[in-house]
Structure 1
Amino acid sequence: MRVCGYCATSWNRLLVICLRLLFIVPAGLHVRSQGDSQSDNKVMDNVTVRQGETVFLSCSQGDVVTHTAWLNRSSILYAGVDKWSVDPRVSLVTFNRDEFTIKIENVDVSDEGLYVCAVQTSSRPRTTFVHIIVQVPPKIIDFSKDMVVNEGTNVTLMCLANGKPEPAINWRVHSLSGGSVGSDDEYLDIPSISRHKAGEYECMAANDIAADTRTLRLVVNYPPSVLGGRDIGVTLGQRGVLQCEADAVPAATFEWYRDDRRIFNGFDGIEINDSGTFSKLTLFNVSETDYGNYTCVAINKLGSANTSIVLYEVIEPTSSTLLQVETTSFLEMTSSALEQTATECSQLWEEPGAVQDGNSGTSGTYTSLCLLLILTLQLLLKF
């Protein structure tokens, strides 16, 4: 049994060698001789196929074929109708006088390379060369994870991808500034990162077949900055609201101070509400002691910032105050009219012959009117 098994193995190896010598050597020799005029070698064709698809390899046979086979770079796939390949993806499609076609399903990168159809006829050998090119869609195989960094840190993002043809890399950032970050490298370097470069970073690997995309979130921590507080005027006994806004990552916590004393929620009827980037301090019944300087402090793990707000008193006008203002205004107007009238009368008297003749009609009339008007205004000013 051992001898027969050994003989069978040796016979198979010998047959493979013979087929290779029969089909490949005549087609591969480029020596000019009388035998070359009887050969018929077809120029190599390139067949491009995408990974996962099916490829068909076909060659013509012709008259009086004695031997025929499909071979790849390392083994025989089919010798006539006999399958030599153990790969289940390889199968015979057509075998007749005109055509010898096989197919390879679910093509992978390992299937790429040279394939030969060798036909031996009674008159001459003939070979057909086919080179399979397998295209592979891009796939990102290594990508940076989400990051949280402090402002001013040097950051490097990584995006490694493979595919055939080799994919091109493109980075984009989705943030307030937006747009492309101008890099087509697998590694994106961001020196001394600022808060404005935080956001979602997208890496796209693309070739002629398809594209693969991955995103990561980059968070940049920075200390608080407080927007300038606005001074508030409030009438005694009314409600006063002080507001403070801070920009910070991570979000800031707030503290309120009256002079050097910290104010807590519920202290002396004061209410403090924090919501996101805002803090609001409410005094429901402002008293004399509530007026003064308040300080809002925003704090996170990277630092703090503060702003001052002055709560000052606003006096509302009363009815007596309004009457006093109106009376004063009226007196000022009357006094001004009196002065103007006196001036005009004085000018009249100074005219030549103004009061020399008491019987003159026009001058006398004007003089009487001036005296009457002055007396009237004086009486009004007494009230």
Structure 2
Amino acid sequence: MKKVDTCIRHSCQVLILILYETACAQISSTHRSSIINETTSIIHGEEDQPLHLQCPFSVTNTVLKRNGRIVKESRLGTLVYSLILRKEDHNSTFTCETYTSAGRKRTKNTATLDIRYKPFLSMNYTSNSVYEGQSVTLCCSSYSRPLTTEMWWDMESRILSSDDDTNVLCHKIINISREDSGSYKCSAENEIGIVNDEVIITVLYPPNIPDQHIHFTDTDVLRTLQCLANGVPAKYSYGRWQHLSRFGEHIRYLNSSPDGKVTLPPIANKMERYQDNGIYLCTASNTVADSFGNSFQTGKTFVMSNVRISSYSRPLTTEMWWDMESRILSSDDDTNVLCHKIINISREDSGSYKCSAENEIGVVNDEVIITVLYPPNIPDQHIHFTDTDVLRTLQCLANGVPAKYSYGRWQHLSRFGEHIRYLNSSPDGKVTLPPIANKMERYQDNGIYLCTASNTVADSFGNSFQTGKTFVMSNGPPVFVKKIEHKQYGQIGKIFNMKFIVYSTSEIECYNIKSENKEIRVSSEMTHVNSSMVFHGTELSVETIEVVLSFNISNKSSRQDYTVTLCNGYGNSSFVVDLKSVQVYVGRRTKNDDPMVAIITFTTFVVMCVPILGAAVFLRRKRNRRTSEDVSESESVDGQPVPGENIVYQNATHSVAFRPTPIQTSVEVIEYNRGSYTQEQNTAPLIGQLNYADVIFQPSTTQDVVQIIGIENRTIYADVNVSAGATSSVDTRSVNE
């Protein structure tokens, strides 16, 4: 009976295993499976594609692990695990393990996923707000496998910047403005596909309040003004309104509503509503300050009433008219009131307006003079100076009403708007440029000069000082921007390209190169580039010309001077180059040629120096040997004095004192007075002092002449009588003699 039960259970397991393997076979028929076995180490896949991993063991107790954690297990043998690939699956490790019924591990096979995926983008700048006038750099990084082939930034389908074969792309916005607000999209592409991401930039700027011109009539019941603020963010706070006369005189303050409106108080007598005429100033803020640091901005509303005149006559007036300089402006018949309306009055409307009335008795007229006040208009000027101009003066040409101006200091800018210096203005708006002794350096005065003037009348933006530009050009010959090396090297028989950068106020008109007073044939290439120069102590960006002059090097001499001359419409400049020719290595060139030349040159130098050094050492040793032999010969003669040699230096202003000569039984030279000097004095040059030594001899009756001579030039310094007795001191005068 047990055998029957065992067979039945075994048959059921076989049946279930057959059904499971049949199901796996059906899955494998529609999607290819990747088998993890002992020969598989890497399984390839692609992002967003399905992957089926198969553990092929036919035994029970099969486990599939991902990065060490169990993701699926089976007690029926073969195991299949399916997933949709993501970039995060790259380098994931899958392990198939089998265990016995007792739980012991039998087999283990491991494979790593190699996933190809589309670019993954990261931004250095999240969607945010930025203040107008700042600079913003948007950088986008791409991580992909395979590598990114192209990246680009665009805004509303307009390509801003792009690059190939890179994984980082930056787009820089300098001096950002309100028009730059919007969505910026970064895209990256590789073989797998294209992805993009975007960043939204909101440019914050203070309210702009445009001027308004409003006309009220005697039929208007409510007369309301609105402060039309326009900025980002669009949440405003308003200050009170100020009523001014046409001449800027204060009249009154009026409180504003929360939405920036003001209603003019009613005036019962309509004939007195002219008192509402004038300029109404409103202020608004959205917490964003302007470039001057002002958080509240100002707008103007010009309130106008019609020019009204009445005629009283008997009989009644038959005709009335307004004219200006004999030009009829308006007219009407059979009326005693005639109005002329001027909308948005301008400076051209200044003048005398005459009203005339006529009846049967005659014609009369009266006039009113209107003066329109406006801030100074300062036109641009273009001034050229030459090297013959001694005084170089600029004038700020202000033109406004009233014509009484105050001037600010001048500002000198480069052509690119970089600040150079400030210059004080005279009371009448003039400035004289400081003199420059070297006329070749007057190019530093080139640039844009800003002057400011005010007549107390503000413009529509509330600015009382207006600005004018004067473009100054100090004409002169070309200026070489960078120092040109005097010594240069070229190859005989080759074309030498001489490159340099010049600053010129006009185009280069001619050029030549001379060698030995002979002009040589040369070709040129000129390119306009931006470089940096120093103007009055400030380094600036300037427009320059890169010049490349090409010519053949003469083989007459290995070293030759070339004079290069450039000229423009205002003069010429030259420089001299000492061009040293270098022999060209003929033969097959390898990448090791340049190091070999250096090694050969160094070896040649060493070989030339070794004999010279050897000869010097030999002569020195020979001289020392000769001196030693002389001393030895003197010592070999019994009773003969030993000559002592020393170099003597003495200044006549210093006395020389010897200590008493000690009694010696042998001949020796004793250094004298060494301990009386410091270390610094011993090592200092012997100027103004005596360097000497005691020379002591044994008593002798010989009458031979003994002399003390110098080492270097064998000069005889003293005759010594060795037969005399020792004395306690030496007369310094005899030594000096």
TM range (shorter): 0.3 to 0.5
TM-score scaled by length of structure 1: 0.48
Which has the bigger relative contact order, CA under 8 A and spacing at least 6?
1
Normalising by structure 2, we get a TM-score of 0.27
